[in-house]
């Protein structure tokens, strides 16, 4: 393998350290989910509604600040924004750890959510990696999120069993401080922050993304998925403790088993979705599973074996959708608009989390466990009715191709690129001196694409390694 085909040591360090920073923050946010309903009930002012608000409160500030913070990082640099966000996250954890009322917990969660560093981290990954390795680096971030969620479901109950709810929040502070150390001393410096349309939000792409009906369906879907998750964590821990009789200190093994089984169960479906090009069928099937498992969660609440089975099925559906939807977005998003589409998608996710916490708490207070599961079923059904109308996506990969400045306004080059078999979409962005291209890798004439670009760049042809398509999935 040629040296350029491997990530450099600097790229590996950047990708792994930023993935760890992202994972530590998400671990801190998620650790609270399985314990807040069972440990927070003894706090002053605790009601089902306020417990639900506390569970989802981080989503509100996260939703409104992540895109502005990403744009701010374009102006003042990535590291100051990321470090500032982690400081806010640590302060929120301290507030929540020292709170003696549910209102204090809510305030802490709101401040934690204000440390919205996701967009800045993604942009920094793009700054520190070459085009041909960027997808691998982004995949490391995606994997770190999945791992952090799984660890949080187990670590939260284990920590709370020994140190109480405040110990969980102190753990989030420690994780934030470790993240700050990594950003300052381990993550390589960025020579010059640039805007990357596949990793950051571009104002000119914002309204086209909002008007795209396929992206709107996806944004609604991710909002409903996280609304269902947050509402469920108002009810599931209480069902395990009060109905099935499992002490709250032992909840960790339920989540461990559920996540372990769900991981292995979802892999064949992901492979089937991509290889057989059946992502729409897999997504609709997973949504249907989420809808159908809600009555099972309610009916099995008094039987621990059946309740654990229902929780396993819930996580199979949830994790399958969580893994598949970003891949679907990368297929749907227009060339040069993936970063903006992802920013809106993430904002929708966090708004859904905030909505789900409030809904779950309010419905539990009024109608109990059955009401929460019925509400989740209704949310899932609304998504299914909207999702069934989505188009079968084109199975394409996307990449960014730097161009010499003298070619950025060459309309003939754009026509030659679009004429290559397998190229489905292309756009040249003059201010970035780059082309964003989407291709069907199964029919792409790679040699033809190389020749099209090399002919325009002659006598200094582009290296084939720099234009080898790589997926954004």
Question: Between 382 and 135, where is the model more confident?
Answer: 382
Which percentage of the chain shows pLDDT scores above 70? 94
pLDDT band at 459 (very low <50, low <70, confident <90, very high): very low
Structure-token pair, residue 419: 């004429």
pLDDT for 281 equals 95
Which percentage of the chain shows pLDDT scores above 90? 64
Query: Around 333, how many Cα atoms within 13 Å sit in the side-chain half-sphere?
Result: 33
pLDDT for 5 equals 64
CB 190 within 8 A of CB 73: no
Query: CA–CA separation, 454 vs 126, rounded Å?
Result: 25
- Helix H or strand E segment including 212: none
Boundaries of CATH 1.20.1250.20 in the chain? 9-188, 213-393
Instruction: Give residue-wise pLDDT tens across range 26-76.
Output: 999 999 999 999 999 999 999 999 999 999 999 999 999 999 998 899 889
Assign domain 213-393 to its CATH superfamily. Answer: MFS general substrate transporter like domains (1.20.1250.20)
Instruction: Give residue-wise pLDDT tens across range 101-150.
Output: 999 999 999 999 999 999 899 889 888 988 778 878 888 888 888 899 99
Q: What mean pLDDT comes out for the span 313-317?
A: 97
Boundaries of CATH 3.30.70.100 in the chain? 397-467
Q: Does domain 397-467 have CATH number 3.30.70.100?
A: yes
CB 356 within 8 A of CB 227: yes
pLDDT band at 4 (very low <50, low <70, confident <90, very high): low
Instruction: Give residue-wise pLDDT tens across range 228-275.
Output: 999 999 999 999 999 999 999 999 999 999 999 999 999 999 999 988
CATH fold for the domain made of 9-188: Growth Hormone; Chain: A; (1.20.1250)
CB 120 within 8 A of CB 1: no
Q: For residue 460, is pLDDT > 70?
A: no
Tell whether pTM > 0.85.
yes
């Amino acid at each position: 393998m040629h040296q350029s085909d491997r990530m450099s040591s600097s790229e590996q360090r950047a990708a792994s350290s930023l993935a760890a920073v992202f994972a530590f923050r998400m671990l801190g946010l998620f650790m609270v989910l399985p314990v807040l309903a069972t440990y927070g009930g003894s706090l002053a002012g605790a009601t089902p509604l306020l417990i639900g608000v506390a569970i989802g409160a981080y989503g509100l500030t996260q939703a409104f600040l992540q895109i502005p913070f990403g744009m701010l990082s374009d102006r003042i640099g990535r590291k100051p924004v990321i470090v500032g966000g982690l400081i806010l996250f640590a302060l929120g954890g301290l507030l929540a750890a020292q709170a003696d009322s549910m209102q204090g917990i809510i305030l802490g969660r709101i401040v934690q959510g204000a440390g919205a560093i996701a967009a800045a981290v993604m942009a920094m990954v793009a700054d520190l990696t070459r085009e041909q390795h960027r997808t691998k680096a982004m995949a490391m971030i995606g994997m770190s999120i999945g791992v952090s969620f799984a660890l949080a479901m187990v670590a939260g109950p284990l920590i709370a069993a020994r140190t109480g709810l405040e110990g969980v929040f102190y753990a989030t502070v420690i994780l934030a401080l470790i993240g700050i150390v990594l950003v300052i001393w381990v993550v390589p410096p960025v020579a010059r922050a640039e805007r990357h349309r596949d990793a950051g939000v571009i104002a000119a792409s914002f309204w086209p993304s909002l008007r795209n009906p396929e992206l709107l369906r996806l944004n609604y879907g991710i909002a409903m998925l996280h609304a269902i998750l947050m509402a469920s964590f108002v009810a599931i821990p209480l069902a395990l403790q009060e109905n099935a009789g499992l002490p709250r200190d032992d909840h960790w093994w339920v989540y461990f088993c559920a996540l372990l089984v769900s991981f292995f169960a979802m892999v064949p479906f992901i492979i089937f979705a991509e290889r057989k090009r059946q992502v729409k069928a897999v997504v609709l099937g997973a949504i249907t599973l989420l809808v159908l498992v809600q009555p099972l969660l309610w009916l099995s609440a008094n039987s621990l074996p059946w309740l654990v089975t229902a929780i396993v099925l819930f996580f199979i559906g949830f994790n399958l959708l969580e893994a598949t939807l970003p891949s679907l977005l990368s297929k749907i998003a227009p060339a040069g608009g993936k970063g903006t589409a992802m920013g809106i998608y993430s904002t929708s996710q966090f708004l859904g989390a905030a909505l789900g916490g409030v809904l779950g708490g309010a419905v539990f207070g009024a109608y109990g466990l059955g009401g929460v599961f019925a509400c989740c079923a209704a949310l899932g059904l609304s998504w299914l009715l909207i999702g069934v109308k989505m188009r079968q996506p084109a199975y394409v990969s996307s990449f960014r191709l730097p161009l010499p400045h003298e070619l950025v306004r060459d309309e003939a080059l754009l026509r030659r690129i679009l004429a290559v078999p397998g190229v489905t979409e292309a756009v040249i962005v003059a201010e970035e001196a780059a082309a964003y291209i989407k291709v069907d890798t199964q029919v792409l004439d790679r040699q033809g694409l190389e020749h099209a670009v090399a002919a325009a760049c002659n006598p200094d042809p582009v290296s084939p390694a720099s234009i080898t398509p790589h997926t954004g999935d």
